[in-house]
A and B are shown apart, each in its own frame.
Chain A
């Protein structure tokens, strides 16, 4: 029963939501059932965040031992800021100057800086690795350079041909490739979803 009950729950939930999505006019009652299940989904997602936070605490508490971890201060900092942010958000208020300072003057610039640092690594890596070693690599290189220049205002200084060529690359080869990937992924996702729905794929239960 430990396997059958979760499988039955997954089947009924998936079936009702699919019924409502594709056959609502034929089965009007499915709307109320699907709405209820989706509301439950939101509640479960909220609890999942709590479980994730608990897991983060448990993992990092283990790493706080100075004898085992030379960088023991990193998990300490993480937990101090995590609980500090949660405490201020919950008990002091999200619209207070303290919370706003933490978000706009600390969290936001730090997150942005992490993302911005990528430009340095990309530039350095591109200079070392982006080589025209084969015909395919040469085509990729040429397309990359054209799009980089054509998507920036400086590309328009060269005349309308560069932005036009950029648009052609983006609208034809790019769309054709992406569309093929998306269709393949969608077919794969449909097959996987069907296998999970009928209980063939039980990996989400921790069973092979």
Chain B
């Protein structure tokens, strides 16, 4: 009984070391656990798949560096899908770091054969003002973004021809770690302009974003690294997110085991006191 009670007071350094091992070992020696693609991810994928080749979609990169590893693979996967389908992608950001993350995604696009900056994709950069800026952008894209991040006049870029308001994008996607996020984009873009809106969020925002998806206000929803991995599987192009799934699984098991051990120790201690 004493041993069970002691389980409740395991040195936290033991927990830390086990978590490090649970993360590193599957990354070095992948197990390859299979997983299915969720309905929300399938619908996001289908929304991109249904856009006719040659049309332009919007990708708003509204995430910070903290949540980057959880959500950046989503942006990369959706961009790769769009490029593979021959779509054009306009990047914007209403979070300061978003511009750099968009640059990182675009750097991958510039290595793709036959893809050119300004023709197939463009990064319009960051604008302060959060929800107000999103609303102004939705009403008049060129007024809010007279130039892109490279100093080009936006109106002169081939990709921007025919784009005046947010309604001119066939599909709007947003990736968020906080504010601005789903709520702001639904209020200012999805509802007002009746444009299909698909959103990717970090794992912790998934539960609070699900009501919007269920209500039909979002045509697709990606939630965290797991959804990025599912998207890669849907594309039949496994990448970094898929590789990280084993580590996430083992981490979850370790945390759950410690929670169970803590509860066993709690009830063992309670029984001892009762006697």
By a beta-carbon cutoff of 8 Å, the part of chain A in contact with chain B is 21, 31, 34-35, 38-39, 41-42, 44-46, 48-49, 94-95, 103-104, 107-108, 110-112, 114-116, 119-120, 122-124, 126-128, 130-133, 141, 144-145, 148-149, 151-157, 163, 167, 170-171, 174-175, 178-179, 182
Contact = CB atoms under 8 A, between A and B. Distances in A.
Nearest to B215: A179
Nearest to B266: A131
A152 B208 contact: no
Contact of A31 (B15, B139, B208, B263): B139
B36 A156 contact: yes
B255 A126 contact: yes
Contact of A123 (B15, B66, B129, B210): B15
Interface in B9-54: 10, 12, 15-16, 19, 33-36, 38
25 contacts: A38-B129, A39-B143, A41-B129, A42-B133, A45-B128, A45-B133, A104-B100, A111-B66, A112-B68, A114-B66, A119-B251, A120-B16, A123-B15, A123-B16, A126-B262, A127-B8, A130-B262, A131-B263, A151-B226, A153-B35, A153-B246, A154-B252, A170-B207, A178-B210, A182-B211
Contacts of B132: 38, 41-42, 45
Contacts, number: 161
B158 interface: no
B12 A124 contact: yes
In the A-B complex, the 3 residue pairs with the smallest Cβ-Cβ separation, listed nearest first, are: A111-B65, A154-B249, A153-B35
Interface residues on B, range: 35 or more
Contacts of B259: 126-127, 130, 141, 144-145
Given A38-B136, A42-B144, A153 B33 contact: yes
A155 B34 CA distance: 10
B67 interface: yes
Interface of A: prevailing SS = helix
Interface string B240-264: 0000011011111111101111110
A129 to B, nearest CB: 8
Contacts of B246: 153
Instruction: Indicate the member of A44, A104, A123, A148 with the most B CB atoms within 10 Å.
Output: A123
A110 B66 CA distance: 9
A175 B129 CA distance: 30
Contacts of A39: 136, 143-144
B211 A179 contact: yes
A115 B136 contact: no
A174 B258 contact: no
A123 B149 contact: no
Contacts of B15: 120, 123-124, 127
Nearest to B144: A42
B272 interface: no
Contact of B136 (A41, A95, A157, A163): A41
Instruction: Indicate the member of A39, A131, A153, A179 with the most B CB atoms within 10 Å.
Output: A153
Nearest to A138: B263
B210 A145 contact: no
A41 B133 contact: yes
B78 to A, nearest CB: 20
